[in-house]
Each structure stands twice: as structure tokens, then as C-alpha cells.
Structure 1
Amino acid sequence: MGVGRGVLQPVMAGVVTAVVGFASTFAVVLAGLRAVGADSRQAASGLLAVCVAAGATAIVLGLRHRIPISIAWSTPGAALLAATGAVDGGFAAAVGAFAVTGALIVAAGLFPALGRAIAAIPRPIAAAMLAGVLLDLCIAPVRALVDVPLLAAPVVGVWLVLNRFARAWAVPAALAVAVLVIVLDSPAALRGAAVAPEVVLTAPMFTWQALVSLAVPLFLVTMASQNVPGMAVLQGYGYTPPLRGVLLGTGAATALAAPFGSHAVNLAAITAALAAGPDAHPDPRRRWIASVTAGVGMITLGLGASAATAFVLNAPPLLIEAVAGLALLGALGAAIASATAEARGREAAVVTFVVTASGVALLGVGAAFWGLLAGGLMMLLRPRSETPPPSPRTSADRPPTESDPTPAAPSAVPS
């Protein structure tokens, strides 16, 4: 194989990684930012900032370690924002929570005890909290098929077909069809999308409500649903990623990008296989080129964040939510499987799921926190003498593979 061809293959893999990662879930990011109080300019700035933060971190880590370390935004974290909604203090308080999340990720890299504390959270409870967060968005396709059937049916139909034959492209293709039907239904949406990149600085505000409702749950879902499975994907392909360096890098990037509206960046879990697998290059020592290229691609795609945001805001909200829900169905399935795999924690997991999915807010604190608390209490109240037989091995107990819709989180943080 010539030198040019040897470089082209991982470069193309990196381009695919960036396009799939961006197109699959950018609507989730925008929905989350808008839910916590961002206006259209702030949401566009946040999408641009999270793309730049993820891309720059991937470039630095890939060049330094020569490992295909793919970095992405926290998709479960964005879904958490959408489920939590506005907090006292508005978007400024949410930005403060984003910055605290970054600081917590850095602390997890600096202090192994914090990583062990995250690992001590029972897997069923952590997975159930994530499932409860994802549920509302994941039922949006059903609502869309009932309320706007002529717009939603082509989107869901394309997703169903490609999910069978080309799963990696199912959501991007569904998004492309959604764009087409929106333009045909409302041409004004396309005209409104022609805007230049814009950066908006929001001074962070730190409130206890945002800390408890947003920062802590965002940190937990980012660690448990992104960083941990992302490590597992890389280890599954024979790499030994530097966990401390990854956490320090992604945590610092999260904190630095927060004032511009970025919520969180972390190890990629789903798209990591696109850059780390053999399709990126037969030689594992050259696959880092794919992750670095993906980083460049994310920054490039981020420059179109304002146009993407303007288009989304001029589109039927339910249809955009439906696309976001399709993107998260795999994650919901994996979370439910992990939450209910072990008989010992199943009841506590169900309680966590129900409370989180309810969307209730008590004392100004969102449902994700109360779900975690309720599930933990149920786990503590369970009689210690009860030792049910071990559950059968499920997909949540094995390392994730490229064909999985989303990798399942291991029960402990790698060290």
C-alpha cells in the first residue's frame, strides 16, 4: 500500500466519524441548550463551542499519544438538559453548571478516589437514571407520527430501512430527509438558516439549584455513559488510553468552553469504533490519523452551527425532536438492558427510572437528582441477606463492538 493510500484511508474514516457524530445528535444538543434557557444566538454559540472544544481536544490527544482518541460532546448530557429544563438564574446558571462539570471531570483525573466513588454507584441505578432522562425524547418519533404524519413518516421510514442495512448512516440520513421535508413544507426555514458563525459569551452564575440539578447529574452521565464506555471501546481494540490525561483534557476543555455555551465534551463511545477499528486502517499504529482528522472535521462542522441552529429553530419542533429521539433509541435500549440485567438492583433501578422519567422538580431541583437519590435509598433499604442467583450474561456485560447501537458502560471506572 502506498504512502498516499495509507494516509487517505484513516483520513476518510475520520471524515465519516466527524459527519456521523455531528449529524446524528446535534439536534439533541440544540434541544438541550434551548431547554435550559439559551436563546437562538446562545444555542448556536454553544454548538460551535462544543464542536471546537471536542475537535481541539481530539487533535491534541491524538498527536500526543498516537492513539485514536475520539472526542465528542456528551449526548446523554444534552438529553439531560432537555429533560431538566430551566433552572433559577436562567442560562447563566446553566453555564455555571457546565463549568462546574468540567471542574469535576478534572478532579476525577487528579484524584483517583473520586473515580472510585463514581464506580461505587450501582450500575443499575446509573443506567436507570440515564434511561429516565432519555425517555421523553425517545417517544418524540411516536408523537410526531401522530401529530405530523406527512412530515414524520418519510423520516422514520428512511431510518428504519438504513438501520437494517447501514446503521451508522441511519440517523444522518433521517436528518437529511427531515431537512428535505421541512424545506418542501416551509421554504422560509432554509432562508433563515443562512447566517454566519457567531460566538456569544455568557458570564456564569453559580447557584445551588443548578449545581444539584445540572452539574452533578451531567458529570455522572458523562462519566458513566461516555468516558467509561469510550475507554472500553479503545481497550477492546487493543489500546491503552491514558485515562488521567483524557479526563484532564476533556475536563479542562469543558470548563474553558462553558462560558460560550458548551455543555460537556468527553470520550466518544459510539463513533469511537469508526476511528479505532480496522476499517480506519489495517495498521493499528496509524489509526490515530482518523481521530485527529475527526477533530479537524468537528471544528469545520462547528462553523456551520449558526446556520444549523437557525434552520432547526425555523422547523417544526416536534419533527426535530423526533430526529433526536431516533438518534437516542439505541442508547435508551442499552441503558434499560443494563438497568434491569441484575436481579438484585432491578427494583431500585425501576424506582430510579420512574422518578427520573416523571420530570418532577422538588425544591427547585430536577428529577434526575431525585431519581438517583430514590434509587440509592431503595438499594440501601434492601435486606442484606437477600442474595438472588446471578443474572444471565447480557450484552451489557460484554465489551461494546462497532455493531452495537451504543456501548454499555462497564461496572467500574478503568484506572
Structure 2
Amino acid sequence: MLPTIAILGRPNVGKSSLFNRLVGRKIAIVDDTPGVTRDRKEGETRIGGRKVRLLDTAGLEEAPPETIQGRMRASSEAAVREADLVLFVIDARSGLTPGDRAFATWLRRQAVPVLLVANKAEGRLGTQAALEAYELGLGDPIPVSAEHGDGMGGLHDAVRETLPEVAAEEEEGGPDRPLRLAIIGRPNAGKSTLLNALLGEERMITGPEPGLTRDSVAVEWTDSTGGKVRLVDTAGLRKKARIEQALEKMSAAASIAALKECEVAVLVLDALLGMEEQELRLARLAEREGRAVVIALNKWDAVEDRTAARKRLDDVLTASLAQLKGLSVVPLSAQTGRGVEKLMPAVRATYALWNRRIPTGELNRWFEAMLSRHAPPLVDGRRIKLRYATMPKARPPTVVVFGTRAEELPEDYRRYLVNGFREAFDMPGVPVRLQTRGTSNPYAEAEG
């Protein structure tokens, strides 16, 4: 029996959009009209590295049992009884409603773990709005946008950590748990050739024709350090305008799915072409999903002016990928094998940084030094008073800053803190999350 995950929430909060996003195809009808989903729909998919049965339920509404809405609610309650995990979805854009609060209270009494999913949380403002959901008492809200695909990596991680009876090798931090590695890049950049070079065997079909790999292929392997790796060689991503055949659309979806499932992404570049908009888009998607990135600069043996090629790449990374400042670049030739032996040590080093947690005392000594060097600016003539910082999680490193009006912190000061954090704790090339939480202060107005 596959583990069962039920998606619950009020009508029109985006449950069916989330279901379709997680299943990877449009099974549930999506519309702005509340109550479109009346019957439970189900599909099998992989979430957090595990194959699961996913249920899309009708909306939860307060209604008499004999009405359609009442029967829809009864159907949703039946789904909870058979679920191993519930995803409770709210609309971050419209804020909490009495219905959300009532159903959260009901869910807290059920004998099933619940993850709180704040949908429609596009952008930083949406993420801030999602924080309101803490008052539901269901733990940390997971901000996502089912429509745009934002935040799915965080949801996969939360499912992986919460779903009961996870096999020992899959448990967080388990000694035998394989590192999940995705190999991504444009078609014909040499991804399959690189995988063959890492494995030391012709596992993947290769050739000069772009698009030979149509689906993602999972490969278990032990690297030279003795650690287990689960490699996924993905079909290459092309610009949307050029994805005309349905098969290529499926390949692109498989690539994105692999990125959400992985921990470290190896972005394969053709050194003769350099880093173009497609690769930048992939790197930004990896960063947005909180994945660590290592660049494999393939076909390096065919580059004539290597100094100029590296400078061009470094300039692009500095100008367009500041959020992954300092990421590792490994020049290599997958065809000849030169430099391939340096790739996995770089991956392991990046993975260690991605997993690293800073003790609270050390973090706050750094935080106080940053505040004394450059105090937060006034916003609308009022002072932002930051008090302390914590690091509740790694994977990726996440810093939460508390203080009066902390949520009003300007973007440039956020960048100042993130860059200072990277530099002080030597964390190049991994995404760093900065979240802010306001604290109640009865003298707040007097301080302004």
C-alpha cells in the first residue's frame, strides 16, 4: 500500500491546482468558481523521493449533511480517515477566514500529521502574508504558488520529513541515505556523457543528436568518497517557444520535477557556448527551490582561450546570479574524462554547506556586529528595531530575524545581511533564506 496524502481546504484556495502540480499533469479541473471539485480525485506521484497516492478532495464547508456541500465535507472527512498525511491549504493572498480557523481546530484533533500549505504566496509579499497562518497552530506555513510552481521544493522536503514510516536510508541525516543529485542543462550539453563518465559505464545512450534522453533516469551509485548517490539524468530543457512536441513538454516537466526532488543540482554548461539565458533560468529555479548548485563546465578540452572563457562565465555569474554568489565551477571533459574526478568532491563540499547549521550564540554575535556596523534604516520615519536571529533549519540555510517592524525591512538591507552571513560563515554557492518576524511592542509608537 502506498502512503496516502489528502489535500484539504476551503473551496477555491487552489487545492486542485496543487494536486495537478504535484501529480505533474492536469487531472483535476481548475476554475475560479468555488466548488468545481465535488468528487475526490486521486493520482500516484513521487513527493519527497517517495511514491505516494495523492487525494484531491472537495472543499471543506460548514453545511447541513443533506446538502451537496454537506456531502462534499463528509467525503473530505472520509479522506482524512484514510490519509497518512494531510496537506491543509489556505489562500495566503486573501488571509485567514473563520472557516480556515474552524477547520484547523478540527484537524488538530485528528490522529494524522498535518502540513500547513499557504498557497498563492507569490513573491516576497506573498511569503510575508503566509506568516499570518502561524496562528492556526499547525506549525510552520509552507509558502507555495501552485499556479507558478514556486515553493514546491520546500513542500517536497516537508513531506519527506513528515511522512511516517520512511525507510531508514531515506531518513533525514541517516548514514546510508543517498545524496540526491540532479544533472540538468540544455539538450546536447553532455549530461548523459557526464553520467556515463561518473559511473564508468555506458549506462545512457549518447550521441550528437539533441534530445536523446526523453525521460528522467534514476541511477544508484557509490562515488569515490564511499558515499551513496542517487543520480538523475534529466532530459534537457528548451525555451518554451521551442517545445512543440508533447514528448518534449513531458521531458521538460521531468527535468523540473527532478530539480524539486534533488538536494544538489549539477548544471552542465557547454563551455563553447557559455552560460546563456536558458541556463540562468535553470540556476534561478534551483535557487528558488532552495537547491545547492555546482556548475560542470563541459567540453573544456575544446576551448582555445580558457582565460577569456572563464572571465566571460564569471562576469555572467556576478551580474545575473548574485543569489548564488561563489558557486563552484568545475571545468571538465565528459568525453575524455579529464577533470571529472573533481566534480563529486565539489558536490560533497557544497552539500555540506547546504546542510550546515550555525549555533544560536555564534549567529547572534555575527548579527550584533552587522547591526553595529550598519543599523537598519528608518522606514516612513519610523525605526526598525531588530532584536535577535535564529537559524531554525538548514537545507538550505535559513535565518529568521525578529524585531519590531522587522517585516518592513527594505530589500537592500536584507541583501546586506545575506551577503554578510555568506561571508562570515563561508557559505558560497548555496541559497540563503532570510525571513523576518515582527514582535509585539507596546511602546512601538513611542519609539517612532
Larger radius of gyration: 2
Report the TM-score, using the length of structure 1 for normalisation: 0.24
Q: Which of the pair is proportionally richer in helix? A: 1
Q: Which of the pair is proportionally richer in strand? A: 2
**Bigger relative contact order, structure 1 or 2, given CA contacts below 8 A and separation 6+?**
1
Report the TM-score, using the length of structure 2 for normalisation: 0.22
